[in-house]
Amino acid sequence: MSLQGKVALVTGAGNGIGEAIAVALAEAGATVACADINPATAKTTADKAAAFQVPSMAIEADCGDVASINAMVEQCVARFGQLDIIINNAGVTWSAYIMDLTEADWDRMHRINAKGVFFCLQAAARQMIAQGHGGRIINIASIAGRGFKDTSNAAYAATKGAVIALTKTAAQQLGRHDINVNSICPGVTFTSIADELIATRAAEQGVTVAEMRAKFEKPIPIGRANEPADIAAMAVFLAGPGARNISAQCYNIDGGLVPS
């Protein structure tokens, strides 16, 4: 499982799942570039990664802007000389009923969650092809993209369905360059974004936050929601040598909530 000698770039690394993945990659020995639209949180995560005695850096990046995406990859390569792994994790969502979603809502979510993932993938793949020794692209999708009924909103689900489709197509087209492309579909995961969603749903239904958290966990066959570390563990595996022949796959990490 050692990732020594590998350089990884994690988007949305400032908190939640992205932070957990960046730190787990560092613990496995990878050099880590932590990108986030918030430079302060990116720096905090980079410092946590550096505690494992590996090189790290923070990058301010807007993953809905192609120029910013390209600059992010360029900064990583300028500092570390290569790019072997990218985790496309940056994303946005909020709780909304399908009939309340606006064009602006749709555009904001697709700008980051779909367009951003594609152009991050493309920029990373361009660098990996130039290097000539393959690479790993790991996209963070969601069980929302598989039709999970309690998704935060329909536009978000559409973006994650797009990520799943992109993963499969990109894997087939980039395989000739020894680039593996996979995605992870988290289920209910207790992060700051999930906490906001739970609080909103609790207020809407007139129950406590604790009751709503329990309601979210009740349908999960294994009986518990994810912690960010659960997603990070799969990301480290997919980035490592044990996954060298795994590509075009989309793995649910959801305690059995949505059979894939």
230, 257 Cβ separation under 8 angstroms:
no
- How many CB atoms are located within 10 Å of the residue 111 CB? 16
Out of 119, 148, 156, 237, pick the active-site residue. Answer: 156
- The question of whether 251 is a catalytic residue gets the answer no
Active site residues: 156
